[in-house]
């Protein structure tokens, strides 16, 4: 690889503080990162990416397998031979005048039978510093590698950050990932979406486990028992916020406590007890900054006040940072995410407000900084999963919460999920797109086979987790959110656990079970009259309309779709019409 990329130098990342500090210093000198005020934000830095490099570029992301059929209609395909050839021409000499860093990293606790090792080669110090937060990296992993000798080969070069030559390539059959001409998180921190979701999902099917775009949180009940819930919401739809929520005042006296296991990725497998156990392969958050404040996510504020890298947020004159929806007053001036002087109220040539921070600006912070960090983060077996939640952004249609009739129906609910597009991926904002299990951009193989795999996994468990669907984003006729969300979501989680423990009954509707309004504990939350009814309403006419979109989506998989999905589809239509 060094022969291809022609770096001036090769440096192995050992995971020591001294090496990291030296790299930080160099990166500051080179202008790659900016050191923030070290009294107010110790160990914190700011980085700006190129203007056209601020989110994942799904249209430049490919799965390269021998057979096109294997990637399905959900992925872009290139043959491995064509992809290697095309990328080699771009990687050729791309690291001239630069250092190539070699990062050995482990996704999951080092040495756990469940973990996977990768080695990322990169010419970006920003990538190295992020990988040191997001993964177990360095010497310890090399020692583990001596025993395992299997690892994912990851190559990244920022090259010229030229969007016209940008490629994010996955070769699951070769356990290889190549990424070039980007410096944005999801495209370049190759342990994250590329390894832990796209390549891992491919391996998980073969090895009979699940690699999912899911958060994992623990809810400690008043009796001290902790139950764990996994949840799949599409990008920028609330996983990070839910995983570290602070109980609302009205429920606090009940004694609940939330434990954060993970906010983005869950690897789950059936253990010897026949139950599903999950762990988070990452050691950090790569979270959305805008909207993070002491009201929405007080625990995150306590997490990102040290050892954090901010990307594309506003730089304040006092050496701290700001974003839209942060605490306190809007700063009078600053330097925006593009490095330009900024003042509130500025508009662009089309009269649109110029934001100080990019809508997909992010922070990278260690999970152990979080006051809610679970004490089971490093446990090799992970945690037992009692329930799974699917969710998305739907202004209309989907009620606050509903429960699947059984595993197969739950898989259908996951397979037919849809959500309005956010700024986490390039494309038209707000457009409803199908995003099964929040995995549409991340499933490294044909999704028809993925649905089959989910159905089979359910059969392999003694007591599969119950499956639910939530929607925090339903709006009224003026476009205002009906549900206050964030900490108040615990009220819904409480109902979900009550259902799992057979403590409450529910109302059967055509789409699943919804709560009796009286079973949601609303202590301390005054919703206007009729709001809860609107939140829980299921309109069969609207759902019949929705079913047309589902049918069109399913048809894309042609004969590959498991018959169970069509059975569920027909059963739903029948219930809606009766
Ligand atoms: P990725 O990191 O992209 O996978 O996103 P995520 O699913 O972790 O999303 P995150 O928790 O960062 O939330 C993204 C956006 O949704 C932020 O702007 C939040 O303020 C907003 N958000 C999160 N939870 C809620 C909620 O319960 N209600 C409302 N209205 N907004 C929410
Ligand atoms: C997402 O987009 O779902 C993320 C951020 O979690 S990134 O790692 O950039 O993909
Ligand atoms: Mn994500």
| Catalytic residue chosen out of the listed positions 64, 237, 443, 500 | 237
CB 348 within 8 A of CB 300: no
Residues in CB range of 334: below 8 A, 6 or more apart: 314, 315, 316, 317, 322, 341, 342, 356
Radius of gyration of the chain measured on its C-alpha atoms:
23
Label residue 222 by pLDDT band (50, 70, 90). Answer: confident
Ligand 1, atom 21, lies closest to the CA of 238
In 94-214, where do the E strands start and end? 99-107, 116-122, 136-137, 152-157, 167-171, 176-180, 210-212
Instruction: Look at residues 246, 492, 256 and name the one whose alpha carbon lies nearest to residue 389.
Output: 492
Of 501, 495, 497, the closest CA to residue 518 belongs to: 495
> What's the confidence (pLDDT) of residue 184?
97
pLDDT at 223: 86
Return the closest-CA partner of residue 569 out of 450, 447, 408: 408
Distance 235 CA to ligand 2 centre (A): 6
Condensed to tens digits (0 to 9), the pLDDT of residues 162-211 reads 999 999 999 999 999 999 999 999 999 999 999 999 999 999 999 999 99
Residue keyed to tokens 């090399």? 142
Q: Give residue 365's pLDDT band: very low, low, confident or very high (50, 70, 90).
A: very high
Position 429 scores a pLDDT of 76
Name the 3-class secondary structure at 425. Answer: strand
φ, ψ of residue 475 to 5 degrees: the values are -120, 165
Cα 363 to middle of ligand 3, angstroms = 13
Rounded to the nearest integer, the mean pLDDT of the chain is: 96
What 80-84 contacts at long range (C-beta under 8 Å, 24+ apart), as own/partner pairs, is: 80/171, 80/173, 80/174, 83/167, 83/169, 83/171, 83/178, 84/171, 84/178
- What's the pLDDT score for residue 253? 86
User: What's the pLDDT tens digit per position in 72-116?
Assistant: 999 999 999 999 999 999 999 999 999 999 999 999 999 998 999
Letter string b/e over residues 274-303, b meaning 16 or more CB atoms within 10 A of that residue's CB: eebbbbbbbbbbbbbbbbbeeebbbbbeeb
- Statement: residue 526 has pLDDT above 90: yes
| Residue 148: predicted pLDDT | 85
Residue 321 host element (H or E): strand 321-322
Is the Cβ–Cβ distance between 333 and 317 less than 8 Å?
yes
184 Cα nearest atom in ligand 2: 9
Choice between 253 and 9, residue whose per-residue pLDDT is larger: 9
Contact criterion met (CB below 8 Å) for 188 and 168:
no
Q: Which ligand is nearest to the CA of 291?
A: 1
Please indicate whether residue 254 or residue 483 has the higher confidence score (pLDDT).
483
What pLDDT band is residue 421 in, cutting at 50, 70 and 90? confident
Q: Whose CA is nearest to atom 10 of ligand 2?
A: 186
The residue-averaged pLDDT of 495-499 equals 98
| pLDDT score for 423 | 74
pLDDT (average), residues 493-512: 98
Sign of the alpha-carbon torsion through 534, 536, 537, 539: positive
Rounded to the nearest whole angstrom, what is the distance from the C-alpha of residue 68 to the centroid of ligand 3? 26
Query: What's the pLDDT band for 34 if we cut at 50, 70, 90?
Result: very high
CB 394 within 8 A of CB 420: yes
Among protein residues, the one whose CA lies closest to atom 19 of ligand 1: 291
Atom of ligand 2 nearest to the CA of 187: 9
* Alpha-carbon span 257 to 240, nearest angstrom: 16
Question: Phi and psi of 46, rounded to 5°?
Answer: -120, 140
Pocket of ligand 1 (CB under 6 A): 233, 235-241, 263-264, 287-288, 290-291, 296, 424, 472-473, 481, 485-486, 489
Question: What is the reported pLDDT for 232?
Answer: 98
Q: What is the largest CA-CA distance in the chain?
A: 71
Ligand 1 centroid, distance to 290 Cα (angstroms): 9
**Over the stretch 233-281, which tens digit does the pLDDT of each residue have?**
999 999 999 999 999 998 988 899 999 999 999 999 999 999 999 999 9
β 176-180/266-270 pair status? unpaired
Q: What is the arithmetic mean of pLDDT over 381-407?
A: 97
How far is residue 179's CA from residue 518's CA, in Å, rounded to a whole number? Answer: 52
Residue that has been written with the tokens 């759902």 in this structure: 543
Quickly state the pLDDT bin for 292 (edges 50, 70, 90): very high
Q: Which residue pairs, CB below 8 angstroms and at least 24 apart, start in 27-33?
A: 27/125, 27/126, 27/129, 30/125, 32/124, 32/125, 32/126, 33/125, 33/126, 33/129, 33/309
Question: How confident is the model over 282-308, as a mean pLDDT?
Answer: 97
Q: Which residues line ligand 2 (CB under 6 A)?
A: 56, 185-186, 192-193, 235, 264, 286, 424
Give the residue whose CA is nearest to atom 23 of ligand 1: 238
Tokens of 332: 């009078």
Residue 44 a catalytic site member: no
**pLDDT at residue 174 in the model:** 97
Q: How far is the CA of 560 from the centre of ligand 1 (A)?
A: 34
* H-run or E-run covering 363: strand 362-366
Ligand lying closest to the C-alpha of residue 186: 2
Show the tokens assigned to 309: 């890298």
Q: How far does the centroid of ligand 2 lie from the alpha carbon of residue 574, in Å?
A: 38
Dihedral (CA of 242, 243, 244, 247) sign: positive
Determine phi and psi for 286, rounding to 5 degrees.
-120, 80
Atom of ligand 2 nearest to the CA of 234: 3
């Amino acid at each position: 690889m060094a022969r291809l990329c022609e770096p001036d130098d090769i440096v192995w990342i050992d995971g020591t503080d001294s090496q990291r500090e030296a790299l930080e210093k160099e990166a500051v000198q080179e202008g790659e990162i900016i050191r923030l005020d070290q009294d107010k934000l110790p160990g914190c830095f700011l980085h700006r990416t190129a203007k056209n490099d601020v989110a994942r570029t799904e249209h430049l992301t490919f799965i390269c397998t021998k057979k096109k059929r294997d990637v399905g209609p959900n992925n872009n395909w290139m043959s491995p031979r064509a992809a290697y050839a095309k990328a080699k021409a771009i990687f050729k000499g791309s690291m001239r005048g630069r250092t190539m860093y070699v990062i050995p990293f482990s996704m999951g606790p080092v040495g756990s039978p469940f973990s996977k090792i990768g080695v990322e080669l990169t010419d970006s110090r920003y990538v190295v510093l992020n990988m040191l937060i997001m993964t177990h990296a360095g010497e310890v992993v090399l020692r583990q590698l001596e025993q395992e000798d299997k690892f994912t080969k990851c190559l990244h070069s920022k090259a010229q950050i030229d969007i016209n030559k940008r490629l994010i390539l996955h070769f699951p059959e070769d356990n290889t990932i190549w990424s070039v001409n980007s410096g944005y998180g999801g495209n370049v921190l190759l342990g994250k979406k590329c390894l832990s979701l796209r390549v891992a999902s491919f391996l998980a099917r073969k090895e009979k486990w699940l690699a999912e775009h899911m958060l994992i949180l623990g809810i400690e009940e008043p009796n001290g028992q902790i139950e764990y819930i996994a949840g799949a919401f599409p990008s920028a739809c609330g996983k990070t916020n839910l995983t570290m929520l602070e109980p609302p005042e009205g429920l606090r006296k009940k004694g609940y406590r939330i434990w954060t296991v993970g906010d983005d990725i869950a690897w789950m497998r059936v253990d010897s007890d026949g139950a599903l156990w999950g762990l988070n392969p990452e050691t950090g958050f790569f979270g959305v900054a805008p909207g993070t404040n002491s009201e929405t996510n007080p625990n995150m504020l306590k997490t990102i006040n040290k050892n954090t890298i901010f990307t594309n947020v506003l730089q304040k004159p006092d050496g701290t940072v700001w974003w839209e929806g942060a605490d306190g007053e809007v700063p009078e001036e600053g330097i925006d995410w593009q490095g330009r002087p900024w003042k509130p109220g500025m508009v662009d040539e089309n009269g649109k407000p110029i934001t100080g921070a990019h809508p997909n600006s992010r922070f990278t912070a260690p999970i152990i900084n979080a006051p809610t960090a679970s004490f089971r983060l490093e446990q090799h077996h992970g945690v037992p999963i009692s329930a799974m939640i699917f969710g998305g952004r739907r202004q209309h249609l989907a009620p606050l919460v509903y429960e699947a009739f059984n595993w197969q129906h739950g898989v259908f609910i996951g397979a037919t999920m849809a959500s309005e597009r956010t700024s986490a991926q390039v494309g038209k904002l707000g457009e409803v797109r199908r995003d099964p299990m929040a995995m549409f951009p991340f499933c490294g193989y044909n999704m028809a086979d993925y649905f089959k795999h989910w159905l089979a996994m359910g059969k392999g468990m003694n007591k599969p987790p119950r499956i639910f669907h939530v929607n925090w984003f339903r709006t009224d006729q003026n476009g205002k959110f009906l549900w206050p969300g964030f900490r108040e979501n615990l009220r819904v989680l409480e109902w979900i656990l009550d259902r799992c423990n057979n403590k409450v009954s529910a109302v059967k509707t055509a789409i699943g079970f919804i709560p009796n309004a009286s079973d949601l504990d609303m202590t301390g939350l005054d919703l206007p009259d009729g709001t809860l009814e609107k939140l829980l309403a299921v309109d069969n006419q609207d759902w019949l309309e929705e079913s047309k979109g589902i049918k069109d989506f399913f048809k894309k998989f042609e004969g590959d779709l498991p018959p169970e999905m069509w059975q569920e589809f027909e059963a739903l239509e029948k219930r809606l019409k009766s």
